[in-house]
A and B are shown apart, each in its own frame.
Chain A
Amino acid sequence: MAYFKDADEVYSYIGKLFEDLAQDEELAPKFQKANTVVQYQYSDPESTITVKLLEGEEGEVDLGETSLEPEVVMTMDADTAHRFWLGKVNVTVALARGQMKAKGPVAKILKLVPLVKPVFPRYRQMLQDAGREDLLEAA
């Protein structure tokens, strides 16, 4: 059974994490160095998060429909995304196995991977604060 029951749950946790990061004074400028627009297309449940990471511009996170035009599209199931933000997914293995698929100039996204490590405890804390230990235990 999938960890998230519907798209709204994906947006409430993973989407909220992206929104928080876009406002983070320390991390947001580092992520914006990617200078791209990334769309995360999740399955099971179907959900879409689009993130604008453009240098010198305000960050933007769209949950669901968007008018942003993505340059990079990352496709995976929502469970894999959840496990990624808990620090339990090796990106290179996930790409090799096809659990994550990356379309577009992938290097722009890969350069962000080393930056995300400090975010893992934040995601874990967010779930704990929301009383969603079930999501922590399931993964």
Chain B
Amino acid sequence: MEAAPAVLGGAQLTGFKDFFQYLAPTRVVAGRELLGSTGFEFQKEGAARVFLVTDEVVRSTGLVERVEAGVADGGLVVAGVFDGVPQDSSTDVVEVCAAAATEAGADSFLAVGGGSVMDTAKVAAAVFSHGGSALELEGIYLMPREREGVGRPLAMAPLACIPTTAGTGSEVSMAAVIKDPTRKVKLEIVDFPLFPRLAILDPESTRTLPPSVAAATGMDAMTHAIESYVSVDSSPLQDARALHALRLIRDNLERAVENGPEDEEARGQMLVAASLAITISLGSVHAMSHPAGAHFGVPHGVANAIHLPHVIRFNAEGGHDIANRYRDIAELLGAVPAGADPEVGELLASHVTELVDRLGLPTRLSHAGVPEDGIPALVEGAMGDGATLLNPREPAEGDYERLFRAAL
């Protein structure tokens, strides 16, 4: 008789896994005063005529001009600059961006901005490289491949990212999420070619990041690390990254928020932490935060910060294997003494809530503008989110309703 059905993943959190896959092909260049050598680094990835993608806010800070100078200093040409990326980008924006890159005769893309800018650049680079529309790329591992779709993915134009927030991790991930305004849904594209070829992590790029955004995006990174470590889709290789990301977040997040851009050390370490923490293997925190953003505009990092403690409590009651994973995290964060065996979920959850409070972020959904009568829509959204399948404890509708009420 074979093992019990594992359609929902099954929380195989210990021992040698039945299956895992790990890939991290992005070349990461991190350090101080790197923006001036953007061109020097990007030419190694085959770029010559660079199309720069950003938003108006980032451009207004003068950062883009410094990056442009860095591109030119490496002997590359800035073929064009597209600064029309909104906070919540869409298929329309992507297609305008790709067309502008074609018109400019570009051969490569450089994203300077946060998650929306980087995801726009990723999808625009794909449309630019393969033609068609963003909609045609939607799905998981569906980008064009050799051998009638089963072979090696076709190469995309080189893409480099300079993140201006420390949280999303899109600069080293193979996922992109943008809105489809026609269907009013988030369009998700996941495939290997979306890994950028190059990520440049320089704390100078987060200098203009306000403390509140540094706090929210930092909590996004912390959520990535914690969720990936307990996900049914976790892997030993990602575990190592997640735990080191948590060490860096433990030691630098509050500093990066309190001291602001003058603390280059903390801001730089948070950029590294965000790049370490990102994965597509998440869980119910993200499943809850996606509809909170879609329906009520709760910023993603804020929503994660609110939901994280409640999901920790829920999951930790799901079995010893799960609780033991949280124990690793709790010990690392100093939430429980090493070797202690108390109710680890409760202690870790309280530790996270206290951190969120110290960071000045809301700890309740109602403080972030979510009304009580919005809960049914949130529950439906969370149940339909792919991240639910990766949560170590299977949540039912009633569980999500209780979690949202507890978070309200």
Contacts and interface: CB of A to CB of B under 8 A. Distances in A.
Contacts of B150: 98
A95 interface: yes
A131 interface: no
B139 interface: yes
A18 B188 CA distance: 27
A104 B134 CA distance: 11
B389 interface: yes
A92 interface: yes
B146 interface: no
Interface in B1-48: 2, 4-10, 18-19, 21
Contacts of A120: 5
Contacts of B188: 106-107
Contact of B142 (A87, A90, A101): A101
B138 A103 contact: yes
Interface in B211-240: 232-233
Given A105-B185, A107-B386, A110-B389, A95 B8 contact: no
B383 interface: yes
A87 B7 CA distance: 6
Contacts of A106: 139-140, 188, 386
B183 A88 contact: no
Interface residues of A, number: 29
A116 B389 CA distance: 13
Interface residues of B, number: 33
Contacts of A116: 7
Contacts of B19: 90, 93, 96-97
Contact of B390 (A92, A98, A107, A117): A92
Contacts of B18: 90, 93
Contacts of B9: 90-93
Interface string A15-51: 0000000000000000001100000000000000000
A107 B384 contact: yes
B82 interface: no
A104 B389 contact: no
A105 B140 contact: no
B5, B232, B394: which has the most chain A beta carbons within 10 Å?
B5
B388 interface: yes
A34 B140 CA distance: 19
A43 B345 CA distance: 46
Nearest to B290: A107
A7 interface: no
A10 B8 CA distance: 24
A86 to B, nearest CB: 8
Given A110-B384, A114-B8, A91 B389 contact: yes
A91 B183 contact: no
A108 interface: yes
Nearest to A95: B140
Interface in B139-160: 139-142, 150
A111 B290 CA distance: 14
14 contacts: A88-B5, A90-B7, A90-B9, A97-B21, A101-B142, A105-B138, A105-B183, A106-B139, A106-B140, A107-B384, A107-B385, A113-B8, A116-B7, A120-B5
